Amino acid sequence: MNWTDVCALEDLTPDRGAGALVDGAQVAVFRLSDGPVLAVGNTDPISRANVLCRGLVGSRGERTVVFSPLHKQAFDLVTGECLDAEDVRIPVHPVEVRDGRVLVGPAGAARRIA
């Protein structure tokens, strides 16, 4: 796996996202307040603006989601599914936290929750 070291875990605010460049792709990395770090594509497929890292994190039912800051659609942070529009999906990136550093892999690679 070609991991990109994007930042220290401490650089991420709990329950907020940050944008990162991973092999040329724009990625949104989220550190949840209860531990896990998740990464998805940063591009909001509905507005096509690179803004998902600035959305609010929350839950919809059992799913952990990010809400697009533009029109509030919810995206599952684990599967990439859009819960408010059919057949819309964002790429999901694997994340590892190693020695306090956050490592993000290319989209579509085997999913692991750090």
Q: Is 98 in the site for other proteins (CB under 8 A)?
A: no
List b or e across 73-100, with b for residues whose CB sees 16 or more CB atoms inside 10 angstroms: bbbbbeebbbbbeeeebbbbbbbbbeee
The amino acid at 78: V
Cβ proximity to other proteins, 60 vs 98, nearer residue? 60
Q: Are strands 74-76 and 63-67 parallel, antiparallel or unpaired?
A: antiparallel
Q: Evaluate whether 46 touches 55 at the Cβ level (below 8 Å).
A: no
The residue from 3, 9, 19, 106 that contacts other proteins (CB under 8 A) is: 19
* Contact stretch for other proteins (CB under 8 A) within 20-28, 79-87, 90-98, 105-113: 20-28
- Size of the chain in residues: 114
Q: Is 4 in the site for other proteins (CB under 8 A)?
A: yes
Cβ proximity to other proteins, 92 vs 104, nearer residue? 104
Q: Which residues are at the interface with other proteins (CB under 8 A)?
A: 4-7, 11-16, 18-24, 26, 29, 32-33, 43, 47, 49-51, 54-61, 64-65, 67, 69-70, 72, 74
